[in-house]
Structure formats: C-alpha cells, structure tokens
Amino acid sequence: MSLKKTCRTLAKVADNEPIFVLRAQDISAPETILHWIIQNPAISEDKRAEAFACSEEMRRWHKRKSAD
C-alpha cells in the first residue's frame, strides 16, 4: 500500500503538487515545525498539538545531524 493511501494529509496532495519532507534526524526540523505553528495561527488546536508533539519527538530522536 502506498504512503499516500495510508496518510490522511498525503492523501490530500495533488499528484503534481510539490511537497517538502522533514526528517527527525535533521537538527533543524523541530524548530522548523515550531516556526510553522507560529506562522499559521488559524490552524486548529488539534493540528497545533499534533505538530508540537511531532517537533518534541524529533527533538528526542537518537541520531540527529545537519541535513543531507
């Protein structure tokens, strides 16, 4: 099964729509997510909490480095 079929957010992406992926190992990923939260004040509280939780999980990731 494709990732696009299993992820609600990716399922909304058009076939030709550009996307950008952040990985937990990227040391800038958690701060990038926090910046996204600040820049999007109209997002729902659920989405805000989900994004914040993801940034915290990334911050605790065991192997972090500069982006490739």
What is the DSSP secondary-structure string of the chain? --HHHH-HHHHTS-TT-------TTBTTHHHHHHHHHHH-TTS-HHHHHHHHHHHHHHHT-SS-BS--
State pLDDT tens for residues 29-38. 999 999 999 9
**pLDDT top residue among 8 and 38:** 38
Residue 3 within a domain? no
Number of domains in the chain: 1
Tell whether 4 is covered by a domain. no
pLDDT band with cut points at 50, 70 and 90 for residue 65: confident
The boundaries of the domain holding residue 35 are 20-68
Prediction pTM value: 0.79
Which tokens in the block code for residue 31?
Answer: 């701060």
Is residue 16 very low, low, confident or very high in pLDDT (cuts 50, 70, 90)?
A: very high
For residue 7, tell me if it sits in a domain.
Answer: no
The confidence score (pLDDT) of residue 37 equals 97
> Distance (Å, rounded) from C-alpha 56 to C-alpha 41?
19
Whether residue 38 is contained in a domain is answered as yes
Query: Does residue 5 sit within a domain?
Result: no
Q: Is residue 11 part of a domain?
A: no
- What does each C-alpha distance from 31 to 5, 11, 34, 44 come to in angstroms? 28, 25, 5, 19
